Amino acid sequence: MASSHPVLLRTVARAAARLSPPPQIIQAARQLSTGASTLSSHATASNTPPPPPPESPKGKKPLTPSQKAFLSSALRVNQAGELAATLIYTAQTPPVVRREPHLKPLMKHMYDQEADHLRVFNHLIAKHRVRPTALYPLWSVMATGLGWSTAIMGKEAAMACTEAVETEIGGHYNAQIRKLLEMVTEWEAEGYEVGEEFRDLINTLRRIRDEELEHLDHAVEHDAQKAEPHWLLTGVIRAGCRGAIWVSERV
């Protein structure tokens, strides 16, 4: 009887070790920004040996409510904007290409990039369970109308539309990137780890920003500034973009 105790103890110890969640399961439970809170809740709930130490002294810092709200509204407005961009090019392409067949590859190139941007934000919005803008149908109608009407006015007006939209969108993405970099700087200064997913998001926004600015350059190279009256057309479209961004961030 006395000799069975060590065997029993070893069996119990092995079973207890199996019950301890492996690090990859803890990692899978992590969302965009969290980590530290998930790890600590597992550690306190379990009587088994503590999980391995995090890679940085403090692990990852959970997002504050205002940071969560910022990220949700950023993904929401970006998705709406990219949907609008694909619809603008879809509406512009037939009238523009009918008059200027040599622009077909350029219009397709810009459309393909916008479709990729939309796929990126559709994926992110679903993954992080962010509510899409409630005004999706309204933006769809307005974007199609804007694309079609500028294309009917001529190639120059169509390009002026791209120039105006991309000027606003480039600035919009830059502001988001700046805000995310501020969060990174703050976390690093406090000794927290910045997750790979968060860094990937910043790099994705940079790539998309660069492609939007490339569209702006194409538009200017293709006579956007010869549209008549350029100042009025771009002024109205830029104001419309700012209004749509402001509303989509909130609704």
Under the binding rule (CB under 5 A), the answer on residue 117 touching Fe ion is yes
Under the binding rule (CB under 5 A), the answer on residue 61 touching Fe ion is no
Residue number of the CB atom closest to Fe ion: 117
Under the binding rule (CB under 5 A), the answer on residue 114 touching Fe ion is yes
d(CA 35, CA 22): 15
Under the binding rule (CB under 5 A), the answer on residue 85 touching Fe ion is yes
Under the binding rule (CB under 5 A), the answer on residue 168 touching Fe ion is no
In the complex, the smallest distance separating the C-beta of residue 156 from Fe ion, rounded to whole angstroms, is 18
The secondary structure of residue 233, as a DSSP letter, is: H
d(CA 247, CA 244): 5
Cβ neighbour number for residue 96 with a 10 Å cutoff:
25
Q: Which of 118, 177, 121, 176 is nearest to 143 (CA)?
A: 118
Identify whether the C-beta of residue 162 lies closer than 8 Å to the C-beta of residue 216. Answer: yes
Under the binding rule (CB under 5 A), the answer on residue 156 touching Fe ion is no
In the complex, the smallest distance separating the C-beta of residue 215 from Fe ion, rounded to whole angstroms, is 4
Identify whether the C-beta of residue 225 lies closer than 8 Å to the C-beta of residue 154. Answer: no
Under the binding rule (CB under 5 A), the answer on residue 215 touching Fe ion is yes
166 is in an annotated binding site: yes
In the complex, the smallest distance separating the C-beta of residue 149 from Fe ion, rounded to whole angstroms, is 18
Phi, psi values for residue 60, rounded to 5°:
-100, 145
Interacting residues with Fe ion (CB under 5 A): 82, 85, 114, 117, 212, 215
Annotated binding site: 82, 114, 117, 166, 212, 215
